[in-house]
């Protein structure tokens, strides 16, 4: 147990303790008790920076299930530390924000903080765990707590829909990821990520590597809302805004990026990984930014923007994977720069997107709407909010002097770098990369400006607003302002981050390459000269401004395209048809008719046994040991067969019962013929009593009907019963024809008198050698008679509704 | 003899199965009764028929038939008698309460 373990467990402990504490102190908002937790954790993780910067990593293990190789091992390196700082830092700000956002008297705030703390602990667990199974456990924990948080206002239908959708999609990806982890375990024999990375060379050509890669990527893409799994994210905006800001922009959706970055040392260096990661990333970038333009709801716009920005980071991780291929050559530094850009933009995105979501929450809170068609002219009323929004939106658009500008420049440099690549068919396709990146950035610029100016400038429409707009309380403004300040500071002094966080994170994404080529130096300059990237940015501003001016006139831009063919319709239709198909399937075979079920059972019996007999060549009929047969026995057998066959043809109840009785008496005669006196006696008595019971009971039943079946149905019944009959005959013949060893009955015959003092061997077996059977058989008879008694007695007491 | 007994058992099974596939409760119970007889005869047949005297040691015979299957069948007869009697009464009560002995009409409530 180390401090790191305690850090992961602290939110869980708080989640248990907070409701108790707040029930004692009812006057204060629960959030004030929560706030010290993440703040303390943030301070703790800040204090780890110097050690990690030196290249030291912290490892500690707690034994959990050693027999399966599953231990709660934690591992803190540059990548884990970066995420841990994001989680705890933004977590503290979001808790502070939510204290003012959620009204203590109207909302179930205790519940909110319990879910939020569960999420925080789970997320810390994801980024600090070294064991795959522990990582998976925390991963699903984030899905579950996210589900609970989205449906926080569970009386709204849309909240429940959004929660269910995100649950289904992320858990689907989670299961795929689990399968991928198990494949990795099969290849390497360990669940430890460290050890798997250590064996990366050994498994590089393993047949299971590609399936494992695809499954793990599926997990990463669903969690990080990459196309086409992004559809849950816009619907998750039904959550309270602090949740959207925290989970659905800064932390949980980055878990997929974390996964890709974490497994880069295992998978990177191949064409499949490069194309999948950068291809899906670039497509999500363009698609998300294009869809964001058309949104009229502030949070939906931000949701699509998140999809797009996550696509950008994902594609950078894909570009950077080429560094693994060029490992050891001079070119690798150029590709490693893409990884640095990914890490830098990941931090920047968390900062400005968190701020923008909080701004959207403030606007919603103070005006009562998030619809940008109803908003406008808020600048005069909410100057502080406007400044935070301006910094966030400009940073998102990639304008100087904010941090988004720098990471966008680095993104362009990485995309241009792709032009130089001559492997993996890149000669043909490389020109697309900068073009796609540039197009996506133009859309990004456009929606950032729409977001900012249509909310805060223009004319105020007071009649459309539910409340009179005014500035938010200080506590609510503080978190976005802190984030805005960070955006400016990191924009002007990017190297504050470069040496402390980015370099160690890059070192953990590209561990082998760096050890081969020495330490990787990240240098981010605010002014990098008249480069191609800068001209691309200038072109973005120009093109974006023109599009913004034309926005109202260009229907292509603001009218939803392809409304009918949407992924949401496919998802909803898929779920609906799945439900309908399974219902139809179940109704088709679960008819409620006992006959139908008997047909299934008997058909299965015939097919399974018949195939087994054919398959095992069981038809061995050895007639040598057969007893001879007298005319008397033949007559009894013939009578038995006749009586049995006549039963289905009997018209009256009495005939059928008597025929069945006749079969019973013929069996009695067989017992006599086959030297079984006790059996004959019992059978005769039981048969007599049974027939009497039959007659007694069925005196009250209606006349026996001849079965009126249609021919097809009757034929089925005949075929099934003939099949069973033939099969049983064959089994009987082959069983008596192939006896593997002698009976143990010689022992009973020899010892019946010597050991048990009885000469009737059957009776000695029943009460002495195998007396337990008899005991329980007596019990069966007792239970049956008690049951009959209860049936008659209780039925008579409550028999008011009986037969008229 | 075993060959012929196997055929007889096959007929008992076929008729029993045909009866339990029918609609009437009475026929179903008669079918189970026939199946029981078939099983008992099958047990006896599979342990070789007529290999000696009845298993009573007072006979002083050279060989006796196998006593073990007889003990098993005896147990089975008693158990199936108990179960069949219970079914009789259950069928009787079901008819009394529900007014039908048609299995196709005895289905669960659709709205349960």
Query: What's the pLDDT tens digit per position in A140-154?
Result: 999 999 999 999 998
pLDDT exceeds cutoff 50 at B86: yes
Instruction: Count Cα neighbours of A80 within 13 Å in the Cβ-side half-sphere.
Output: 26
Nearest-CB residue to B56 (from A598, A759, A783) = A759
A628 reaches B (C-beta below 8 A) = yes
Q: How many angstroms separate the Cα of A427 from the Cα of each of A333, A422, A424, A514?
A: 20, 5, 8, 27
Closest chain A residue to B51, measured at CA: A627
Q: How many angstroms separate the Cα of A510 from the Cα of each of A277, A321, A530?
A: 16, 9, 30
For residue A409, give the nearest of A254, A332, A523, A289 by alpha carbon.
A523
Distance from CA of A691 to the nearest CA of B (A): 10
For residue A308, give the nearest of A323, A328, A294 by alpha carbon.
A294
pLDDT digits (tens, 9 = 90+) for A767-791: 999 999 999 999 999 999 999 999 8
Structure tokens given for A407: 């990471």
Residues with Cβ < 8 Å from A66, sequence gap 6 or more? none
A774 reaches B (C-beta below 8 A) = yes
pLDDT of B91: 82
Characterise A627 by phi-psi region: left (phi > 0), alpha (psi -120 to 50), beta (else): beta
Q: How confident is the model at residue A561 (pLDDT cuts 50, 70, 90)?
A: low
For residue A355, give the nearest of A448, A251, A246, A492 by alpha carbon.
A246
pLDDT digits (tens, 9 = 90+) for A698-726: 676 665 555 555 555 678 889 999 999 99
- Give mean pLDDT, residues A453-480: 80
For residue A355, give the nearest of A291, A363, A399 by alpha carbon.
A363
Nearest-CB residue to B101 (from A594, A671, A701) = A701
In contact, A150 and A240? CB cutoff 8 Å: no
Judged by CB atoms closer than 8 Å, whether chains meet at B15 and A660 is answered as no
Tally the residues of chain B.
Answer: 112
A694 reaches B (C-beta below 8 A) = yes
Q: How confident is the model at residue B70 (pLDDT cuts 50, 70, 90)?
A: very high
- Residue A71, beta-bridge partner list: A63
Judged by CB atoms closer than 8 Å, whether chains meet at A644 and B56 is answered as no
Residues with Cβ < 8 Å from A137, sequence gap 6 or more? A125
pLDDT exceeds cutoff 50 at A803: no
- Give mean pLDDT, residues A619-644: 83
Calpha distance A707→A648 (Å, rounded): 9
pLDDT of A626: 74
Mutate to test the interface with A, among B71, B75, B86, B94 (most CBs of A within 10 A): B71
Calpha distance A397→A530 (Å, rounded): 20
pLDDT of A804: 34
Burial state string for A26-42 with b = 16 or more CB within 10 A and e = fewer than 16: eeebbbebbbebbbebb
ipTM: 0.93
- State the SS3 of A72-89: EEEEECHHHHHHHHHHHH
Calpha distance A641→A574 (Å, rounded): 57
In contact, A203 and A209? CB cutoff 8 Å: yes
- Give mean pLDDT, residues A631-653: 88
Judged by CB atoms closer than 8 Å, whether chains meet at B104 and A595 is answered as yes
- Give mean pLDDT, residues A38-51: 91
In contact, B18 and A717? CB cutoff 8 Å: yes
Residue bearing the bigger pLDDT, A467 or A9: A9
pLDDT digits (tens, 9 = 90+) for A514-523: 555 556 666 6
Three-state SS for A630?
coil
Judged by CB atoms closer than 8 Å, whether chains meet at B70 and A678 is answered as yes
Closest chain B residue to A796, measured at CA: B93
pLDDT exceeds cutoff 70 at A563: no
Burial state string for A601-624 with b = 16 or more CB within 10 A and e = fewer than 16: ebeebbeebeeeeeeeebeeeeee
pLDDT digits (tens, 9 = 90+) for A384-429: 888 999 999 999 988 878 888 888 888 888 888 877 777 766 667 7
In contact, A445 and A308? CB cutoff 8 Å: no
pLDDT of A707: 52
pLDDT exceeds cutoff 80 at A460: no
Q: Which of A16-30, A219-233, A690-704, A777-791 has the lowest mean pLDDT?
A: A690-704
Q: How confident is the model at residue A185 (pLDDT cuts 50, 70, 90)?
A: very high
- Residue B24, beta-bridge partner list: B102
B39 reaches A (C-beta below 8 A) = no
pLDDT of B111: 47
Judged by CB atoms closer than 8 Å, whether chains meet at B82 and A598 is answered as no
pLDDT of A515: 57
pLDDT of B112: 43
Nearest-CB residue to A781 (from B82, B93, B103) = B82
B50 reaches A (C-beta below 8 A) = yes
Residues with Cβ < 8 Å from A465, sequence gap 6 or more? A367, A368, A369, A374, A375
Structure tokens given for A588: 């088709």
Calpha distance A489→B21 (Å, rounded): 83
In contact, A661 and A691? CB cutoff 8 Å: yes
For residue A677, give the nearest of B30, B67, B39, B20 by alpha carbon.
B67
For residue A505, give the nearest of A11, A44, A1, A79 by alpha carbon.
A79
pLDDT exceeds cutoff 80 at A275: yes
In contact, B48 and B66? CB cutoff 8 Å: yes
Nearest-CB residue to B57 (from A598, A628, A752) = A752
Highest mean pLDDT among A147-156, A549-558, A695-704, B84-93: A147-156
B108 contact residues in A (CB cutoff 8 A) = 592
pLDDT of A89: 93
Instruction: Count Cα neighbours of B11 within 13 Å in the Cβ-side half-sphere.
Output: 18
A371 φ, ψ to 5°?
A: -85, 120
CA angle A710, A713, A719 (to 5 degrees): 135
pLDDT exceeds cutoff 70 at A694: yes
A46 reaches B (C-beta below 8 A) = no
Structure tokens given for A598: 């008997």
- Give mean pLDDT, residues A153-158: 90
For residue B82, give the nearest of A659, A656, A686, A667 by alpha carbon.
A686
pLDDT exceeds cutoff 80 at A196: yes
pLDDT of A737: 66
pLDDT of A222: 93
Structure tokens given for A643: 């009586």
Calpha distance A646→A666 (Å, rounded): 14
Judged by CB atoms closer than 8 Å, whether chains meet at A629 and B17 is answered as no
- Give mean pLDDT, residues A653-676: 90
pLDDT exceeds cutoff 50 at A800: no
A700 contact residues in B (CB cutoff 8 A) = 92, 95-96
Residue A462 per-residue DSSP state:
G
Calpha distance A651→A181 (Å, rounded): 68
For residue A241, give the nearest of A123, A100, A31 by alpha carbon.
A100
Nearest-CB residue to B7 (from A660, A729, A791) = A729
A701 reaches B (C-beta below 8 A) = yes
- Residue A192, beta-bridge partner list: A131
Calpha distance A772→A123 (Å, rounded): 60
Q: Compute the count of residue pairs across chains A and B with CB atoms less than 8 Å apart.
A: 276
Three-state SS for A520?
coil
Mutate to test the interface with A, among B7, B9, B15 (most CBs of A within 10 A): B15
Residue bearing the bigger pLDDT, A462 or A755: A755
Distance from CA of B92 to the nearest CA of A (A): 6
pLDDT exceeds cutoff 70 at B22: yes
Closest chain B residue to A765, measured at CA: B71
In contact, A500 and A407? CB cutoff 8 Å: no
pLDDT digits (tens, 9 = 90+) for A574-603: 999 999 999 999 988 888 888 889 999 999
In contact, A123 and A250? CB cutoff 8 Å: no
pLDDT of B72: 93
B63 reaches A (C-beta below 8 A) = no
Task: Report the interhelical angle of A332-367 vs A383-397 (nearest 10°).
Answer: 150
pLDDT of A802: 42
B53 reaches A (C-beta below 8 A) = yes
Q: What does pLDDT average to over chain A?
A: 85
Nearest-CB residue to B8 (from A592, A640, A701) = A640
B14 reaches A (C-beta below 8 A) = yes
pLDDT digits (tens, 9 = 90+) for A732-747: 888 776 666 777 888 9
What value does the CA radius of gyration of chain B take, rounded to a whole number of Å?
A: 19
pLDDT digits (tens, 9 = 90+) for A351-391: 999 999 999 999 888 888 888 888 878 888 888 888 999 99
Task: Report the interhelical angle of B25-46 vs A711-737 (nearest 10°).
Answer: 20
Distance from CA of B97 to the nearest CA of A (A): 5
- Give mean pLDDT, residues A171-179: 95
- Give mean pLDDT, residues A52-69: 85
- Give mean pLDDT, residues B32-60: 87
Calpha distance A228→A165 (Å, rounded): 14
- State the SS3 of A663-727: HHHHHHHHHHHCCCHHHHHHHHHHHHHHHHHHHHHHCCCCCCCCCCCCHHHHHHHHHHHHHHHHH
A153 reaches B (C-beta below 8 A) = no
In contact, A511 and A197? CB cutoff 8 Å: yes
């Amino acid at each position: 147990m180390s401090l790191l373990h305690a850090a992961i467990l602290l939110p869980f402990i708080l989640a248990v303790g907070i409701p108790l504490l707040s029930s004692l102190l009812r006057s204060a908002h629960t959030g004030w008790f929560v706030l010290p937790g993440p703040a303390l954790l943030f301070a703790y993780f800040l204090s780890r920076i110097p050690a990690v910067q030196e290249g030291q990593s912290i490892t500690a293990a707690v034994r959990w299930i050693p027999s399966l190789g599953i231990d709660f091992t934690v591992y803190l390196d540059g990548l884990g530390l970066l995420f841990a700082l994001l989680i705890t830092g933004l977590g503290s700000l979001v808790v502070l924000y939510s204290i003012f956002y959620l009204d203590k008297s109207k909302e179930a705030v205790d519940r909110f903080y319990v879910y939020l703390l569960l999420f925080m602990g789970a997320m810390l667990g994801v980024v600090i765990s070294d064991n795959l199974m522990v990582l998976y456990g925390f991963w699903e924990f984030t899905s579950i707590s996210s589900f609970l948080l989205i449906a926080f206002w569970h009386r709204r239908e849309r909240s429940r829909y959004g929660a269910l959708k995100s649950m289904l999609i992320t858990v689907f990806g989670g299961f795929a990821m689990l399968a991928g982890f198990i494949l990795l375990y099969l290849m390497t024999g360990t669940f430890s990520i460290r050890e798997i990375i250590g064996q990366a060379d050994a498994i590089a050509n393993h047949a299971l590597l590609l399936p494992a890669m695809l499954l793990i990527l599926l997990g990463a893409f669903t969690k990080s809302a990459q196309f086409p799994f992004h559809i849950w994210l816009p619907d998750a905006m039904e959550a309270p805004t602090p949740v959207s800001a925290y989970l659905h922009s800064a932390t949980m959706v980055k878990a997929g990026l974390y996964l890709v970055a974490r497994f880069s040392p295992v998978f990177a260096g191949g064409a499949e990984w490069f194309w999948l990661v950068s291809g899906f990333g670039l497509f999500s970038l363009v698609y998300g930014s294009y869809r964001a333009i058309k949104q009229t709801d502030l949070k939906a716009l931000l949701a699509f923007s998140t999809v797009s920005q996550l696509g950008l980071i994902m594609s950078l991780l894909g570009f950077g994977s080429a560094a693994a291929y060029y490992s050891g050559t001079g070119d690798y530094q150029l590709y490693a720069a893409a990884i640095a850009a990914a890490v830098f933009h990941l931090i920047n995105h968390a900062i400005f997107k968190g701020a923008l979501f909080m701004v959207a929450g403030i606007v919603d809170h103070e005006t009562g709407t998030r619809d940008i068609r109803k908003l406008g002219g808020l600048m005069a009323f909410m100057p502080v909010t406007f400044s935070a929004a301006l910094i966030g939106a400009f940073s998102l658009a990639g304008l100087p002097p904010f941090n988004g500008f720098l990471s966008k420049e680095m993104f362009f440099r990485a995309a241009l770098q792709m032009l130089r690549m001559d492997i993996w068919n890149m000669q043909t396709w490389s020109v697309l990369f900068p073009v796609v990146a540039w197009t996506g950035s133009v859309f990004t610029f456009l929606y950032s400006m729409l977001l900012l100016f249509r909310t805060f400038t223009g004319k105020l429409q007071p009649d459309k607003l539910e409340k009179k707009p005014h500035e938010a309380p200080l506590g609510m403004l503080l978190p976005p302002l802190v984030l805005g300040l960070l955006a400016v500071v990191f924009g002007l002094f990017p190297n504050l981050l470069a040496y402390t966080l980015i370099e160690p994170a890059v070192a953990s994404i590209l561990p082998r390459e760096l050890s081969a080529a020495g330490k990787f130096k990240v240098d981010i300059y605010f002014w990098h000269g008249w480069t191609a990237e800068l001209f691309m940015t200038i072109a973005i501003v120009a093109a974006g401004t023109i599009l913004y001016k034309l926005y109202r006139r260009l229907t292509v831009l603001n009218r939803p395209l392809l409304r009918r063919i949407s992924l949401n319709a496919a998802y909803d239709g898929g779920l609906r048809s799945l439900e309908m198909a399974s219902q139809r399937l179940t109704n088709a075979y679960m008819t409620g008719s006992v006959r139908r079920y008997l047909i299934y059972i008997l058909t299965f019996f015939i097919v399974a046994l018949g195939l087994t007999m054919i398959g095992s060549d069981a038809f061995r009929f050895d007639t040598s040991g057969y007893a001879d047969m007298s005319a008397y026995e033949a007559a009894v057998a013939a009578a038995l067969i006749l009586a049995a066959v006549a039963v289905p043809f009997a018209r009256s109840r009495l005939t059928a019962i008597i025929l069945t009785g006749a079969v019973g008496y013929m069996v009695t005669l067989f017992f006599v013929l086959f030297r079984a006196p006790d059996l004959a006696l019992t059978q005769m008595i039981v048969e007599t009593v049974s027939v009497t019971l039959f007659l007694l009971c069925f005196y009250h039943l209606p006349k026996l009907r001849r079965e009126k079946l249609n021919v097809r149905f009757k034929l089925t019944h005949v075929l099934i019963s003939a099949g069973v009959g033939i099969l049983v005959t064959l089994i009987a013949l082959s069983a008596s024809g192939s006896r593997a060893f002698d009976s143990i009955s010689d022992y009973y015959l020899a010892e019946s008198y010597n050991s048990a003092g009885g000469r009737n061997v059957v009776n000695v077996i029943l009460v002495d050698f195998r007396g337990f059977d008899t005991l329980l058989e007596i019990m069966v008879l007792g239970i049956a008679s008690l049951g009959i008694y209860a049936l008659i007695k209780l039925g008579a007491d409550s028999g008011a509704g009986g037969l008229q | 003899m075993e060959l012929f007994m196997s055929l007889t058992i096959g007929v008992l099974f076929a008729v029993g199965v045909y009866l339990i596939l029918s609609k009437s409760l009475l026929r179903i119970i008669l079918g189970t009764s026939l199946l029981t007889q078939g099983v008992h005869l099958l047990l006896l047949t599979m342990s070789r028929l007529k290999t000696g005297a009845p298993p009573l040691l007072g006979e002083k015979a050279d060989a006796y038939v196998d006593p073990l299957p007889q003990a098993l069948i005896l147990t089975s007869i008693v158990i199936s008698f108990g179960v069949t009697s219970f079914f009789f009464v259950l069928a009787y009560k079901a008819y009394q309460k529900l007014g039908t002995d048609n299995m196709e009409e005895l289905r669960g409530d659709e709205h349960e």
